Every structure is written in C-alpha cells, then in structure tokens.
Structure 1
C-alpha cells in the first residue's frame, strides 16, 4: 500500500508541475511547452518506475524475512539454504544501491528542469526514506542470517559429535559382540582324541613306566586333538571294545555302551562331563 500511496502523491505532484496555458505569445511558447511536457512525462515515468522497483524490493525483502523467520534449520540442507539466502541478500543490497543512485539522478534532473516543486521533493523524500528503511532492514536480516548460520554450524557440530559417539558405541558393541562370540566359542570348545597307547605316548599326550600308572602329561600339544562343541558332542565311537577313558570325567556324567563289537561313549551330562577338563583322551588298547 505504501508504494501505491507514493504513486498517487507522485501523480498529483507531476500534474501540478504541468505547464500552464500561456496567455500571450501562445504560438511562440507552444514548442517549449511541448518539450517541457515531454520532459515532465519522462521524469514522471522514471519516478513511477522507481516506485515500482522499490515496491518489488520490499516484497523480496518480506520473502527473505519470512524464510529466515519461519523455515526450520535443516542440518542437511542448512549450508545450501544459507548460501542461497546470502546471495539473495547481496543481490537485494546491490539493487538498493542502484535505486538510491537513480533516485539522486532523477532528483538532480528535476531540479535543473525548472519543473521541481515542493510536492515532488516530498515524493522523493518519501522514496529516499523507504530506501533507508530497506537498508536498515537488510542489516537486521543479515544479522539474523548470521545467527541462523551459527545455529546451523553448532547443529552440525552436535550432529558430528553424536555421529562420532554412535560410531564409537557401534564399534564398542561390535567389539563386545566379537569378544562374546569368541568367549562363547572358547567356553564350549572341547578337544578329544581316540588313539592307541603307543600313539598317545609318541605324541607326548600320556606317559607311563614300569610299575607306574598311565597318566596325562601336563604340557601336551593339542594339535593332535580334534576340536568339538560341548553342546553338540553327545556320543563318540571308541573304535575298540577295549577302549577306555584316560582323562578325568565324573562317572555319573557318561556311560559306555556296546555297539556292534565296539564301544560307544554316551555323554549324559555335558556340563559335568567337561567340568574337570576340556580334553577327552581315549585309549583304544
């Protein structure tokens, strides 16, 4: 509405500046009057154009203000939005400076034309005040935009920190998971071997002597053993009817049954069977 008011005031001011019909020497002054009228119309049109351009700038400023005030800060697109707003603000500032320069040029032309009046001066003053107001609003918007950018930067920093914390937590979780899996595997891993006495001695798994009972060595190499899972190893073929256990396992946790001229080890209670050792040594002779 402000720029419409300015246009109405400007129209009245230009109309007041229109040359009066001469009372004498009409023919001599006709051409000069036409020139003055053309000049007045041209300068009026220039002022009208400036008023419209200033109005357009005001609408653009309102749009930018609305974006800064209403649009939520987006962590992903905040930098892009900030850059676009900065470009728009710079373009608006350049436009404002151009309007100010053109207004000064029109004012100077009117003052030199002899058509300048107090009404025209009032119109120009109003337009200049509007330009000053716009300049002040641009400064305010720039300040708000800088604050918004600071908020975006702080938000991005927070997000980066959270992402780092999440990554760290995920790594810790994965590490715990791997350790738990490894611990579980170690917890339920057992080793067994079914061999003759001589083979077991050659592998330094057992030791025996004259009048000494056969017993397991303390530091044997487990590379000769077969690895198994305590939870799934429920039975084991002993390959000979003379086979017997050399490792220490509670008697109630297992039984040995005959199976087609051989023996079969049945583990009835895995938890107690493996409670004393993770190694099962079966001698076949």
Structure 2
C-alpha cells in the first residue's frame, strides 16, 4: 500500500482549495492556506504511520512463515530436550508475533476510521491482512492440536493460543462491522432520486410550485431512488424535455431515437450529480 494514493488525492484537494482562495482575493487567504497546509501535513503523517504499521505486519508474517517451516513434529511424537525447546521457542515467538499483528491491524482500522477515509485500496489491504491473520492463527491451532495428540506439552501454549483465537475473533467481528458501515456509507453517498413528468404531473405531486422545484411538502413516492453508478440512461417517452434541477450541461445529453422519442443519457455520473442528488425532468 503506497501513501501516494491518499497524498496525491489530497494534493488535488489542496490545489483546488488554493484556486478557490485565489479567486476570492487575498483577504483571509493566508489563514485558509495555513489550515490547508496543516491538514496536508497531518494527513501525510497519518499515512506514513499506516504504511509503517503495514510494513511491520508484513514483516511479521514473513518471519512467522519462516518459523513454521522449521517446526517438525516427529511421527512417533518423540522429541529430545533440544528439539522440544526449539519447538517451544518457535511456537511462542509465532504466537507473540500474531498477537502483535492483531494489535497493529486494530490500529490500522482505528486510523482509517479516524481519517473518515473511504479509500477502497486501504480498506482492501486491511481486510487482506485480517484474512492472513485468521489463516495463520488457524495454522497455529492445528499445530497445537497435533502436539497435544502426540502428548507433547508446550508450556503455556494452550492459554496463549486460546487468547489469540479470542482476540482474532473479536477483530473479525469489528472488521465486519466496519465493512458494513463503509458499505452503508457508500450506498448513502451514491443514492440519488429522479422523477419525470409533465408540468401538470409535477404540479399535482407538489414537486413544481410557482414554476420552481419544491424542497418540501411534495409526494416523495413519485421519485425513483437509484444508485447513481448504475444509472446511465432514462427513457423520457417524449419529443421535448427540460431538466428543472441543476446539472452541468457537459455531463449529459438528450438523445432522440428513431421514433424521435428522447432519452436522457448521463455521460459523466459524478459530475452530473455533483450539484444536486435530485433530478426533475419536465416533459412536453
């Protein structure tokens, strides 16, 4: 996971804010730019910390894999003192590193939530680390059970693994809840509503009042609610239409078919819905 993804995005935001500030003149400009610079510095620091945590988790996983490779349980279950000490040391180190990874993944989740970030790449990275943690924990549980079957007792290993299992299960629950929250927020951010009708239809539903689109006391059932990412074309079934809500003209077109009936084609969804999450189309 590279910090460039978030930092670059913020750089665009900073450039946009700088442009807006310049257009307003110098009054208050220094204060606004100082605030932007501070926010940018804070974001860079947060991303660097997240990168360090991810690097630490990955390094631990590599060491765990290496240690797993040297744990050999004899088929007859017999071990001399030296072999038993090596297995005990390796298992304890693996358990400690898994516990450290669990704590670091907790911190990553907390930082992502604190940033209020909807960054899909970072979210996917954290979920992948969580999945690897669960996989490694299951493998340690399997090794522990194999040792138990062969009557090879490792001091405090059962307690450590049980504690780790509980922690990983708790983290999985937390991660699942966060994923549900992000999915809910994502759906909310991309939900839009639209309606199409004649002047009389819109007036009757309380949507058009004194020639303007009403903001309250209208019939909401007349609107259709959809995900803006899945809405590209709206058949209007008329030869003339007008958008009554505000949408950039470059983001859509009214295209006539062979029968001269119009279809509203949204060619740039994010731009189209940037000014209004509600679309009202009057047909003639």
Q: Provide TM-score, normalisation by structure 1.
A: 0.45
Larger radius of gyration: 1
